[in-house]
Structure 1
């Protein structure tokens, strides 16, 4: 499997993803890796309907994503991974899927989270997952829209989560 782009965006498939990121990815399919969405038939259906023309979309959990990655049948498929949370990215990497780079888009604010940019808010679980991904050698590229500058999210984390 050829991973053309891996992105965290808690809105999943929406305008920016369909018009910009999917073109940048130049993939055959979008694979949404999210346990909650995987269990929600309504959200799965809506995501499939929102998929850009000419692309397939699959909604899977981490276990299924790792199994599909390792299946030789899909070795030539170009995929664009979409996640809502860094913990699921970490679990996929720990399951043996090699990610070199992770693009981080929107992660909305909710209670218990700290806003680190206007579009990204994190809790301690997010920080811990990003730290482990960074230690695993994954480049963590905070770039909400394509025209934004590339920022290593670990720099923003160290500014907001000192000590």
Structure 2
């Protein structure tokens, strides 16, 4: 037995507004793990994330290595978990480390230099595409949905349509 992962989400805004609250309600999680080496080192951001937690949900901000090490620990079997990541590279690293799940919800990946917008909320660069391809090859569904009510758009279909894979 390992912790129950109910939702894996990539959103570089992490916990913001009602978005996570609604996902937390629908998935009935009792724990949100924000998995990011950078955020785990940032005391202010950690504090703010914990304060933004939906009612009845505990938030922990942990490193990638920590996630890999606790995944199979029976102490965490009571966790009904949402994993929040800021980018596909970090997700790939936990999967390579033995963490397993079926699908990833992609909420937001901000535009920055060298990235191409593929939806109004998602921009990717070559590194992102490489990591998303890897995740897809592991049999993980990659669906873009900012909010629960959005219809699912499959990342790989979109990348193919854009001629990016």
Aligned partner of 1:123 in structure 2 is: 125
CA positional deviation for 1:9: 0.8
**Deviations, residues 92-125 of structure 1 (Å, cap 9, x unaligned):** 1111011111000011111110000011000111
CA RMSD of aligned residues (A): 1.2
Aligned equivalents of 1:19, 1:35: Cα separation in 2: 23
Unaligned runs of 5+ in 2: none
Gaps in structure 1 of 5+ consecutive residues: none
Check if 1:102 corresponds to 2:94.
no
Query: Matched residues in 1 for 2:136 and 2:161: separation?
Result: 16
Task: Look up the match of 1:136.
Answer: 138
1:38 offset after TM fit, Å?
0.8
Q: How many residues align?
A: 163
Structure with more of its chain in helix, by fraction: 1
Distance 2:163 2:48 in 1: 36
2:95 maps to which of 88, 93, 96? 93
Listed one character per residue, the Cα deviations across residues 75-104 of structure 1 (whole Å, up to 9, x for unaligned) are 231111000100111111111011111000
Partner Cα separation in structure 1 for residue 47 and residue 93 of structure 2 = 25
- 1:57-76 equivalences in 2 (<5 Å): 57-76=59-78
1:23 aligns with 2:25: yes
TM-score, normalised by the number of residues in structure 1: 0.96
Secondary structure of the 2:71 match is: helix
Distance 1:14 1:53 in 2: 14
Q: Pick closer, same or farther for the CA change 1:161–1:124 going to 2, 3 Å.
A: farther
Tell me if structure 1 keeps the 8 A contact 2:19–2:147.
no
Runs of 4+ in 1 over 4 A off after TM superposition: none
Q: Which residue number corresponds to residue 5 of structure 2?
A: 3
Deviates more, 1:108-117 or 1:69-78: 69-78
Shift of 1:63: 0.6
1:161 shift after superposition? 4.0
Rounded to whole Å, the distance in 2 between the matches of 1:133 and 1:162 is 16
State TM-score, norm by structure 2. Answer: 0.94
